[in-house]
């Protein structure tokens, strides 16, 4: 019996060691076949502690990505937990990412910075300037599911280049999730467009917005007219307008 236990222990040790030392370059081609739209170049290290010089997920080029598996946290959470570092031309980020047995992807304590022009990958109409900076305290998404996200998004020296031109300013959104609804508290500072208010989106992809907006003297007249039209006219004595809107959008399939 003791001999059997020793053999079993040796076999388990061999398997774990073999997996631990598996080169990332060996796994990369298989991952590209399994994950549609993923392109990997320049793999190095192992699947437990490695990097790639270029990782592209569909239209997003993440650039240089490094990871390190955290065994103890993986065991305690029954998920594959990694320390992740992304260093690309359009996006940089560092924090914890996890992949659970039910295919849930989660992010925790992720700091990020991205060029605002990255937004054109999501919607090609508006061209934005400035940088997005912030923190994802916690986020998770399941296949075909509605996301959960809590964090802060800052648009630093944010500007609009097209279809209208808006000079740089600073904008902030405090984001939270509750009862399958994502809410954002919005405000601005030192910006040609003064904003304050809330927006929300529920798991039926229905949105609500209640925002107070006021253009400064530097804002284009076209923007002032658009805001008044959206608010139904009748600005307040200080020139601000209250925009209240509700409706629905086409469901976004973020994860299959």
CB atoms within 10 A of CB 17: 10
Q: When comparing pLDDT for 255 and 201, which is higher?
A: 201
**Burial group, residue 99, by CB count within 10 angstroms (0-12, 13-18, 19+):** middle
Return the half-sphere exposure (C-beta side, CA atoms, 13 A cut-off) of residue 90.
15
CA distances (Å), origin 183, targets 81, 150, 169, 203: 27, 9, 22, 12
Q: What is the pLDDT of residue 8?
A: 41
Q: What is the pLDDT of residue 195?
A: 95
Q: When comparing pLDDT for 15 and 49, which is higher?
A: 49
Q: When comparing pLDDT for 106 and 57, which is higher?
A: 106
Q: What is the rounded CA–CA span in Å between residue 111 and residue 219?
A: 31
Q: What is the rounded CA–CA span in Å between residue 250 and residue 107?
A: 25
Mean pLDDT, range 110-138, rounded to an integer:
91
- pLDDT above 90: residue 135: yes
Q: What is the rounded CA–CA span in Å between residue 127 and residue 163?
A: 7
C-beta of residue 63 within 8 angstroms of C-beta of residue 89: yes
pLDDT tens column, 140-171: 998 888 999 999 999 999 999 888 888 999 99
At residue 6 the predicted structure's pLDDT band, cuts being 50, 70 and 90, is: very low
Q: What is the rounded CA–CA span in Å between residue 95 and residue 136?
A: 9
CA 190 to chain CA centroid, Å, is 25
- Backbone phi, psi, residue 225, to 5°: -65, -40
| Average pLDDT in the chain | 84
pLDDT tens column, 62-90: 889 999 988 888 888 888 899 999 998 88
Q: What is the pLDDT of residue 13?
A: 37
pLDDT tens column, 187-200: 999 999 999 999 99
pLDDT tens column, 217-239: 878 888 888 888 887 877 888 88
């Amino acid at each position: 019996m003791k001999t059997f236990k020793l053999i079993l222990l040796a076999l388990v040790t061999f398997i774990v060691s073999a997996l631990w030392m598996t080169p990332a370059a060996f796994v990369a081609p298989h991952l590209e076949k399994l994950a549609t739209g993923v392109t990997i170049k320049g793999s190095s290290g192992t699947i437990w502690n490695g990097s790639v010089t270029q990782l592209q997920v569909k239209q997003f080029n993440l650039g240089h990505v490094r990871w390190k598996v955290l065994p103890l946290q993986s065991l305690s959470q029954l998920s594959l937990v990694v320390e992740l570092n992304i260093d690309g031309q359009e996006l940089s980020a560092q924090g914890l990412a996890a992949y659970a047995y039910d295919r849930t992807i989660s992010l925790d304590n992720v700091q990020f910075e991205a060029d605002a022009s990255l937004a054109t990958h999501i919607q090609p109409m508006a061209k934005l300037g400035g940088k997005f900076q912030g923190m994802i305290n916690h986020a998770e998404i399941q296949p075909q599911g509605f996301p959960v996200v809590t964090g802060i998004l800052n648009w630093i020296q944010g500007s609009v280049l097209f279809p209208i031109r808006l000079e740089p300013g600073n904008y902030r959104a405090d984001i939270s999730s509750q009862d399958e609804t994502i809410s954002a508290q919005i405000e601005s500072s030192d910006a040609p467009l003064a904003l304050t208010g809330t927006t929300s989106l529920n798991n039926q992809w229905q949105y609500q917005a209640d925002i107070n907006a006021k253009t400064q003297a530097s804002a284009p007249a076209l923007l002032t007219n658009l805001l008044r039209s959206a608010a139904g006219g009748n600005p307040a004595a200080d020139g601000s307008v209250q925009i209240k809107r509700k409706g629905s959008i086409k469901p976004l399939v973020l994860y299959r």
